[in-house]
Amino acid sequence: EVQLVQSGAEVKKPGESLKISCKGYGNFFSTYWIAWVRQMPGKGLEWMGIIYPGDSDTRYSPSFQGQVTISADKSISTVYLQWSSLKASDTAMYYCARRLTEDAFDIWGQGTMVTVSS
Amino acid sequence: QSALTQPPSASGSPGQSVTISCTGTSSDVGGYNYVSWYQQHPGKAPKLMIFEVSKRPSGVPDRFSGSKSGNTASLTVSGLQAEDEAHFYCSSYAGSNNWVFGGGTKLTVL
């Protein structure tokens, strides 16, 4: 079964660093773009950026450029989202999703809840 | 880029039809036939319902349909069922490997 499985919930303090992961199962990983999407509590979806694990080509939403880093390790079918210094405003659910066509994100991870609080 | 504009809420009785709009600009919705719609139940990940304006992925009932005119896309849910109650988000390709989502619409089945 094709699926994306994300790492578990995290609780961090402001200023700490964090790297969350999204692992693909089903022999598709290197040939599809994988995106990260943020959903703040009670709010809508926000596209953060996207990576092609085959060559690590990465694009960022202007809103998130410089705020996060997206990376991939195709040898283990995993993409990452990382922060060097978390803020309380980073508290959100983060989803990874596979881009099937130009606009369709068809497979989604279960989400990783990140809570940043002192 | 700014989020696409959706009504915050929509509602209908079982069996009725409801249409949710999604308004963007000529740089996103109006510029590409790449509009998709996602359904999200509470505590769940989004689910792709419509892509490329009007195409349905395998397994999505044909009660869900999409269309576009100019800078506004629409999702119509016909024959409303209780399980359709959820948040719906539109999304559009905005060029240069960028995408933008709408603010979301909470669909209530009365």
Specify the pLDDT at position A31: 87
Exposure string (b/e) for A37-50, b if CB count within 10 Å is 16 or more?
A: bbbeeeebbbbbbb
Residues from chain A contacting residue B31 (CB–CB below 8 Å): none
| pLDDT digits 0-9 by tens, B8-67 | 999 999 999 999 999 999 999 999 999 999 999 999 999 999 999 999 999 999 999 999
Per DSSP bridges, beta strands B86-93 and B35-40 are antiparallel
Specify the pLDDT at position A117: 97
Find which of B97, B100, B101, B105 to mutate to test the A interface (most A CBs within 10 Å of its CB): B97
With an 8 Å Cβ cutoff, are A62 and B1 in contact?
yes
Q: If we measure between CA atoms, which residue out of A114, A116, A85, A83 comes closest to residue A8?
A: A114
- Angstrom distance (rounded) from CA B103 to CA A21: 26
What's the farthest any 2 CA atoms get from each other in chain B? 41
In order along its 118 residues, chain A shows pLDDT tens digits of 899 999 999 999 999 999 999 999 987 777 899 999 999 999 999 999 999 999 999 999 999 999 999 999 999 999 999 999 999 999 999 999 999 988 889 999 999 999 999 9
Average pLDDT of B104-109?
A: 97
Structure token pair of residue A88: 């309380």
* Residues with Cβ within 8 Å of residue A92, at least 6 apart in sequence: A38, A39, A40, A41, A113, A114
Name the residue facing B101 among A45, A104, A109 (closest C-beta): A45
Per DSSP bridges, beta strands B64-69 and B86-93 are unpaired
Q: If we measure between CA atoms, which residue out of B42, B108, B85 comes closest to residue A41?
A: B42
Specify the pLDDT at position A106: 94
Residues from chain B contacting residue A45 (CB–CB below 8 Å): 38, 40, 46, 89, 91, 101, 104
